[in-house]
Structure 1
Amino acid sequence: MAAFLYRLGRLAFRRRWYVVLVWVAVLGGVGFASAAASELPDDTGSMPGIEAQNALALMRQRFPGNVERATARVVFVVPAGEKVTDAGNRAIIDGLVGEVSRGGQVAGVVSPFQARAVNEDGSTAYATVTYAAASGDLTDATKDHLRAAVDRARAAGLTVDVGGPVLASEPEVGGLSELVGVALAALVLLITFGSLAAAGLPLVTAVLGVGVSMLTIFTVGGVFGLSATSSTLASMLGLAVGIDYALFVVSRYREERAKGHPPQEAAGLAVGTAGSAVVFAGLTVIVALAGLAVAGIPAAGKMGVAAAGAVVVAVLIALTLVPALLGFWPDAVLARRVRTGGTRKEADNAGTRWARFVLRRPVLVLLGSVVSLAVLAVPVADLQLGMPGDEAKSTATTERRAYDELADGFGPGFNGPLTIVVDAQGAGDPRVAVRTIAAKIAGTPGVVSVSPARFNPAGDTALFTATPSTAPTSEQTKDVVRIIRGERPATSGTGATFLVTGTTAVNIDVARKVQDALIPYLAIVLGLAFLLLLVIFRSVIVPLKAVFGFLLSVLASLGAVVAVFQWGWGAGLIGLQQTGPIISMMPIVLVGMIFGLAMDYEVFLVTRMREAYIHGESAGQAVVTGFRHSARVVVAAALIMIAVFSGFVGADLPMIKMIGFSLAAAVLFDAFVVRMALVPALLALLGRRAWSLPRWLDRLLPRVDVEGEALSRTWPPASRYAADPPRVSS
């Protein structure tokens, strides 16, 4: 591996023009293809194997053409002391209903007075607008017509808002906060390298990689169903790892140049050593993210595959484009003392001093690390999964205001009705069977009302809604759904059966399926981590330590997410409008991403320790040497990732906001607590035993040269170039 990458680095350095032209051609090619591609589809809650999804499939089969239609709920709130039934207010509402009914793509409008959609005190009412197309197919003219009618009713003195997806604002991904994150990453690079060129090169290559990845997703997204969330996740991870991987290669290049190697040789050695770590770190990220595709959750699988593709591009750029660009400016990335003819000094730095501190007090550092992460993980015990709806949006949006107005006027459960699909094909009298089932569900504790049933043309299937007394995301609503489904045996005598669906039921079922898949997926990821690190480090203890640290990082970051997004601690600091359950898919996506990022730091840091150990240093001194060479770069890489991920906390999409926060927290915990404290403390306590491997296992495992040991045996050391040290090509 190291020898091959060494030759690749030298080749890219030597044939730099060809490498740059190839990447420019790739960028242009996918850009041209994306221009002709269809838009990315919207996120979908489709989840095979759950009852709510089966019910939707039955509805599509028995009620063709009705399931996919867009609907809007126009909510009216009158001033205090008035009622919607007052003549003036009624005239305004009737006028809006008539105007909206004449709009394009409108299939029908039901007046609140026709449907008795007025609350008890007469302060709130709503009209239902049904369109002849899905919400994604509505034209701008159709939406503008609805907005104009609403504005005229508002001007007449009523409070009017529109619930549902028809007028929902398009969420912004990151905006200014994302740019601030990139700017902070640039500042970290500049402080780390002390050179504009060295700081700018990782940024340029990472942005190019994200461009290639995003344009590729736009090209194939319509075919494979990759949504806007998938593309955002790919850009987030691609930017972070793209900067980090280039950072490690450039840092090693500077180190080799400072030792006296000429530019082309240094580029080859940098790609052969740091590049090997990049390959295996990237491989762990790719495998973990791609593994989401087999977790049985389609949306998470698509997000994982898109993000894994972005990581593949980041790895390829680090191995080819970075050494090629170093060939154009071989000395611009060097430290000033090297450019002026100075030599590299193996002086103590902050990493060395920290490592020696840990070696003197390993038990104290180990206990402090474990206890602090365990305390942060405590909130996980209260983890509640769900899918936030309009209640999680900003109060500046009309859909959030409509949600609150309906909850105030009709009760918290009004925004999350349960749709009951009754299959009465086996019933003697379908209408009697449906009435029996509806009466049974109406008597269920927690159900406040049941709507009249609506039959399909064949008369063998019926739909009605059951409105719970509690909010859609509350635990009590989950209990109501469970109780209703448990009543099926009691109604089996009718010859009919029923399924429970609707947005609330779908979210409950998705959350349950994710919970069922999380533990097996976590076990697979932990097992994979152990096997990969067993091959890389040829040690049993080091992989076990890494798996233990990874588990602590996951639990601590999930605990932080629960504390902020569910309990509301510090929610205002990140612009969180509403607390509630954690988005269902977030934990399993987070596990895959944290696994990859944690293995990044494990490979980059511990590889340098093992490199020193196999070259003859004692176990304790190897820890110090590893920190001397890698601590500053690992800290810089972690700060860059934290900055990039924090930039996505400003997103309007709740999933992206939550993932950005959780990944920033995970990198903080993993890099600074686990890898910089727990890892050296354990290695100090274990000594030589940490690097031991049973002989029988040593014979079975394949040999992978991540540390570049083959390079030190095959290629000459820097002393060969002592006659001309250290030469600056400019």
Structure 2
Amino acid sequence: MPATTDPTRGLGRLASAIHRRPGRTLLLWVAAIAAAFGLASVAGGEWSSDYSTPGSDSKAAATALETRFGQGSTDTVDVVWRDPDGATRPATVAVVDRLLADAAGLPGVASVPAAASAERSEDGTTGLVRIALQTRAELVPEATGTALVALGERAADEGLELALGGGVIQQAESEGLPAETIPLLIAALVLVLALGSIVAAGLPLVTALLGLGTSVGLVLALSAVVDVPDWGLSVAIMIGLGVGIDYALLFLTRHLAALRAGVTVHDALVETTATAGRSVLVAGSTVVISVLGLFLMGLGYLRGVALATVLAVLISMAAAVTLLPAVLALLGRRAAALRVPGIDGGGGPRSGAGARRWARTVQRRPWGALTAGLVVIGVLAAPALDTRLGFPDAGNDLAGTQNRQAFDLIAAGFGPGANGALYVVAQTTSGPVDDADLAALQRGLEADGGVRGVSDPRRSEQGDAAVLVVTPTTAPQAPETRELIDRVRDEIVPSAGTPLAVDVGGATAASVDQAAVTASRLPLFIGSVVLLSMLLLLVAFRSLPVALKAAAMTLLSIAAALGVVAVLAQGGALGGLIGIDEPVPVAPYIPVMLFAILFGLSMDYEVFLMSRIKEERATGRTASEAVVAGMGATARVIAAAAAIMVAVFGGFGFGDDVGLKLIGVGLASAVFIDATVVRLLLVPSVLALLGERAWWMPAGLDRILPHVDLEAPDTRPATEVAS
């Protein structure tokens, strides 16, 4: 039998050291927070994100535009206006020229055309000029976007129907992060109901917020060396706050239970760190493994989001097993002070009785419970099959914003395809591009029924490349536009019969490419995350059925969450609940992010429950009795933790960013489904059907895996543990 590693001793020594010097531990945390923000202030960078897909056709086109034409980006600021008396009326042109003159001196602006050179709609009432940017929209200084929005408002105040659009404008008009006040108030209320003490309820919040402060400082510093999008910090805050409160709640619940059993403060901290602390480390490790799986997608901005989220989770884990024990050591038995009348805080004689009765009911009818749970999951997951991947555009912005008004004015005056032009870049490896070859390519593009117009070719300075701007007849998100891109690449370019190397780029083409690459890499990503997480659970629980069950249940929760996201993205009455009134595409990174985060978070509850069931079996209970006792002991903390996560994640559903809305609501719905349908129906029914076989481990596999006990055996009587 291989030697068993017992990290309880290390965790126990850590708890004893913290108990002896709690003040020193707190000072170290204060120093860590100060150092994190000091590092951020000295070395902090700016948010940046390159949404291009390495190796794709659209990426090649973007690179050619930058290297051959000196065009750092295809991003522009669109200035569009409408005058029923004519877009080129002298008074109107004067207003637009003043705006353009003021915009010319702003940082990040490359070139500004005159109003007289504007494109005009067929009826002559709408004018459009595009201000070229020096770099991608997200890298343009925030002050520039704010100034441009103000210029547009000034022109509108002069009586002209004018709006500015583009990524820079969208960022300037964004309302930023949603207020966290309501989710935190809900979390505080849940903690009071779960713990029955004002002091105890405040501890998880304080621990999570202090840990979050440290991780935010580190993420700000991380942005100096890694490409991190602005919403990456939002995701890190969302996850860090949720798991920080959850991990602290798990630790605190176990500690208070030990104190109620008459254990000394020192021994309670040692026991809790060796049991609940170990569960926190294993649960957090599954989140880290899942999120690091984002690296397999090969997308730079996802790597930045992954690192930011991992930092938040690691700091939350550290806070739960070091910062919280230090505070508990200082408080002693006052940790449960300021009791709330009428709330037992989980310490009453009938605590968990309802969960135990439910577990016995499910065990009597396991097939019925399993069938009911699978039907609910199936109904929720079905809409995920119709998910439409793509990046939302200005047409999905809130009505009344300049970005949305500009989008609508352009569509009305120049056709819906004018909001998503394609850049067709033709190159040669040597010598200038042949005029006849360019003409053949242009004729092929113009002949396609999905093309509204093709610009004359613009050559590079060396003459070895040319770009044609293709305006589709349909909107950027329309399926017909995606089909046009495929035809250009697969049929029109080859049929032109030229030796030119042709790439199709632009925001719409980039969105199509990333959706395709995401779909192709998902099997590797999902398979790797599931396999690594299962290995961790095999080491922790020494059971192949438990590991397989955990992976299967988690995948079901994720499928249901993706179905909820697909329904909300369709808008209508349900989508309108979170401000999505019209259908929006689901950004390709959203299913990937949801899977990575949800797989880890769902495993948290699996670890919380199964570790307690395993501990109950160690006291001599049968497999059935251990399930009943384990559910009774953990139901309250899992329910409270899930309610807190739902509140925190759900709060992001009421922000301004569509992507964060869907991520937040997707996470909230998955946690709710996992804590109800999965934990109350699927898990106990499967364990009842498996019986003692649930803890089977192949001998060969048992020999090659390291032996690390998840929970140290508890020396208290089983009746106390089950309470």
Give the TM-score category using the shorter length.
over 0.9
- State the match for 1:77 in structure 2: 82
Q: TM-score, normalised by structure 2?
A: 0.92
- Match 1:534 to one of 538, 541, 546: 538
- State the match for 1:265 in structure 2: 267
User: How far did residue 702 of structure 1 move?
Assistant: 1.9
Cα deviations across residues 50-74 of structure 1 (Å, max 9, x unaligned)? 110111112211112x234863221
Change (3 A) 1:429 1:260: closer
CA–CA distance in structure 1, aligned partners of residues 386 and 142 of structure 2: 43
Change (3 A) 1:70 1:419: closer
Structure 1 counterpart of 2:325, one-letter code? P
Q: Is the 8 A contact 1:645 1:663 kept in 2?
A: yes
1:481 equivalent in alignment to 2:485: yes
1:123 equivalent in alignment to 2:128: no
- Match 1:308 to one of 310, 313, 330: 310
How do 1:350-429 residues align onto structure 2 when only pairs under 5 Å count? Answer: 350-425=354-429
- Match 1:217 to one of 219, 228, 242: 219
- What SS does the corresponding residue of 1:554 show, helix, strand or coil? helix
- State the match for 2:258 in structure 1: 256
CA–CA distance in structure 2, aligned partners of residues 318 and 490 of structure 1: 60
CA–CA distance in structure 2, aligned partners of residues 315 and 132 of structure 1: 42
CA–CA distance in structure 2, aligned partners of residues 338 and 203 of structure 1: 22
- State the match for 1:444 in structure 2: 448
User: How far did residue 3 of structure 1 move?
Assistant: 2.9
Q: Is the 8 A contact 1:101 1:108 kept in 2?
A: no
- Match 2:473 to one of 469, 475, 484: 469
- State the match for 2:156 in structure 1: 154
- Match 1:110 to one of 109, 113, 123: 113
Q: Is the 8 A contact 1:451 1:466 kept in 2?
A: yes
Q: Is the 8 A contact 2:424 2:467 kept in 1?
A: yes
Structure 2 counterpart of 1:104, one-letter code? G
- State the match for 1:20 in structure 2: 26
Mean Cα deviation higher: 97-106 or 657-666? 97-106
Cα deviations across residues 24-80 of structure 1 (Å, max 9, x unaligned)? 11011112221223442233213211110111112211112x23486322111235x
- State the match for 1:640 in structure 2: 644
1:658 equivalent in alignment to 2:658: no
Q: Is the 8 A contact 1:541 1:690 kept in 2?
A: yes
Q: Is the 8 A contact 2:287 2:597 kept in 1?
A: yes
How do 1:107-256 residues align onto structure 2 when only pairs under 5 Å count? Answer: 108-111=111-114, 113-115=116-118, 117-130=119-132, 135=137, 146=148, 150-168=152-170, 169-176=172-179, 178-256=180-258
- What SS does the corresponding residue of 1:465 show, helix, strand or coil? strand
Mean Cα deviation higher: 639-648 or 42-51? 42-51
- What SS does the corresponding residue of 2:223 show, helix, strand or coil? helix
Cα deviations across residues 389-444 of structure 1 (Å, max 9, x unaligned)? 21222123201110011112222111001001011345776222111111111112
Structure 2 counterpart of 1:191, one-letter code? L
Cα deviations across residues 670-706 of structure 1 (Å, max 9, x unaligned)? 1211122210111112211111223333333321111
User: How far did residue 166 of structure 1 move?
Assistant: 3.9
Change (3 A) 1:113 1:683: same
- What SS does the corresponding residue of 1:457 show, helix, strand or coil? coil
- State the match for 1:582 in structure 2: 586
Q: Is the 8 A contact 2:26 2:323 kept in 1?
A: yes
User: How far did residue 126 of structure 1 move?
Assistant: 1.5
- What SS does the corresponding residue of 1:487 show, helix, strand or coil? helix
Cα deviations across residues 435-481 of structure 1 (Å, max 9, x unaligned)? 11111111123111111111011111111111111111122111110
CA–CA distance in structure 1, aligned partners of residues 553 and 173 of structure 2: 39
How do 1:555-704 residues align onto structure 2 when only pairs under 5 Å count? Answer: 555-566=559-570, 568-704=572-708
- What SS does the corresponding residue of 2:306 show, helix, strand or coil? helix
- What SS does the corresponding residue of 2:117 show, helix, strand or coil? coil
Change (3 A) 1:603 1:357: same
- State the match for 2:547 in structure 1: 543
CA–CA distance in structure 2, aligned partners of residues 269 and 420 of structure 1: 66
CA–CA distance in structure 1, aligned partners of residues 342 and 324 of structure 2: 20
Q: Is the 8 A contact 1:535 1:701 kept in 2?
A: yes
Structure 2 counterpart of 1:297, one-letter code? L
- State the match for 1:349 in structure 2: 353
Q: Is the 8 A contact 1:297 1:514 kept in 2?
A: no
Structure 2 counterpart of 1:529, one-letter code? S
CA–CA distance in structure 2, aligned partners of residues 695 and 497 of structure 1: 58
Cα deviations across residues 68-114 of structure 1 (Å, max 9, x unaligned)? 486322111235xx4435xxx44312442255236414654435653
Cα deviations across residues 460-504 of structure 1 (Å, max 9, x unaligned)? 111111111111112211111000001366356422121000011
- What SS does the corresponding residue of 2:332 show, helix, strand or coil? coil
- State the match for 2:48 in structure 1: 42
CA–CA distance in structure 1, aligned partners of residues 639 and 556 of structure 2: 19
- What SS does the corresponding residue of 2:333 show, helix, strand or coil? coil
Cα deviations across residues 216-264 of structure 1 (Å, max 9, x unaligned)? 1112211122232111111110110000011011000011112221111
Change (3 A) 1:69 1:647: same
- State the match for 1:67 in structure 2: 72
CA–CA distance in structure 2, aligned partners of residues 480 and 136 of structure 1: 28
User: How far did residue 143 of structure 1 move?
Assistant: 5.8
CA–CA distance in structure 1, aligned partners of residues 436 and 223 of structure 2: 48
- What SS does the corresponding residue of 2:78 show, helix, strand or coil? strand
Change (3 A) 1:437 1:643: same
- Match 1:326 to one of 322, 325, 328: 328
User: How far did residue 522 of structure 1 move?
Assistant: 0.9
CA–CA distance in structure 2, aligned partners of residues 434 and 331 of structure 1: 82
Q: Is the 8 A contact 2:420 2:507 kept in 1?
A: yes
User: How far did residue 653 of structure 1 move?
Assistant: 2.1
Gaps of 5+ in 2: 1-6
- What SS does the corresponding residue of 2:706 show, helix, strand or coil? coil
Mean Cα deviation higher: 186-195 or 513-522? 513-522
- What SS does the corresponding residue of 1:575 show, helix, strand or coil? coil
- What SS does the corresponding residue of 1:467 show, helix, strand or coil? strand
Q: Is the 8 A contact 1:100 1:145 kept in 2?
A: no
Mean Cα deviation higher: 93-102 or 449-458? 93-102
Cα deviations across residues 624-667 of structure 1 (Å, max 9, x unaligned)? 10011101000101111111101111222222221111100110
CA–CA distance in structure 2, aligned partners of residues 563 and 463 of structure 1: 40
Structure 2 counterpart of 1:272, one-letter code? A
Mean Cα deviation higher: 404-413 or 641-650? 404-413
CA–CA distance in structure 2, aligned partners of residues 143 and 347 of structure 1: 56
CA–CA distance in structure 1, aligned partners of residues 575 and 343 of structure 2: 48
Q: Is the 8 A contact 1:14 1:324 kept in 2?
A: no
CA–CA distance in structure 2, aligned partners of residues 133 and 486 of structure 1: 30
Q: Is the 8 A contact 1:69 1:132 kept in 2?
A: no
Change (3 A) 1:428 1:200: closer
1:288 equivalent in alignment to 2:290: yes
Q: Is the 8 A contact 1:173 1:648 kept in 2?
A: no
CA–CA distance in structure 2, aligned partners of residues 180 and 126 of structure 1: 43
Structure 1 counterpart of 2:242, one-letter code? A
